[in-house]
Structure 1
Amino acid sequence: MDRYTKKVIAWDLGKRMTVELVQRTLNKAMESQNYTEAVMLHPDQGSQYTSHEYEETIKNSGMTHSFSRKGYPYHNASLETWHGHLKREWVYQFKYKNFEEAYQSIFWYIEAFYNSKQIHQSLGYLTPNQFEKVSA
């Protein structure tokens, strides 16, 4: 999630949180954005984010990261809050028959609703997509 625009710029879903899943999502984010300024990532201290592969990708891309303390989610409160909203407002409302159904449902929430229709007071009552366009 881009903290400035509040846009979910890349996401993925897996049956388990793995290094490969995190790498794939990071690669999607890098491909979708054209940042001209330094990028700071704020992951937690999960093993996926402290892995050698992830560290190399960060280093080679010129990005940096800032880890929060263990058990201290407040450093990344905006993303923690967003995950809570996603679960309460959407995921927990359904019983998914399979992984594909869950993936399609979350895709709709992020791409068709959240980024495109969910307005934010802090963005001047614009959606993340609208705010990104006027901020470019």
Structure 2
Amino acid sequence: MKIAIGNDHAGTDYKFAIVEYLKSKGIEVTNYGTDETSSVDYPDFVHPVANDVENNKADFGILVCGSANGVAMTANKHQGIRAGLSWNKEIAELTRAHNNANILCIPARFTAIPQAIEIVETFLNTEFEGGRHQNRINKIPMGC
């Protein structure tokens, strides 16, 4: 499995912890996020992640910023991207099972790092249920 990850300044510590977790599971990671804590513009880190997912260079993407709203909005402008904001493992599970999300967005200011790892683990280990959920996804326009 290959994951593309991106973050802004609010998500730097989270990104480091998530990357360490993913690598410990043998998952290949491409880091597009900042490694600094000084202010940056999150779209600069979202677009490369979304590009990798939409072009099948990554199986999934993970984005981390303060609220995760901005990264989710930006990613969802891309063709074929379904980015879901998850602040706990239950939401992460539903985002995958019901919405077939391919990018996970984590709000660093509203989760703790151990919780973020649990969210990532749940997201990656949940399968899309299909069925009635696929019918609903088919009604979502695909990007811009």
The TM-score range, normalised by the shorter chain, is 0.3 to 0.5
Greater strand percent: which structure? 2
Decide which structure has the larger Cα Rg and report it: 1
The two structures have a TM-score, normalised by structure 2, of 0.34
Greater helix percent: which structure? 1
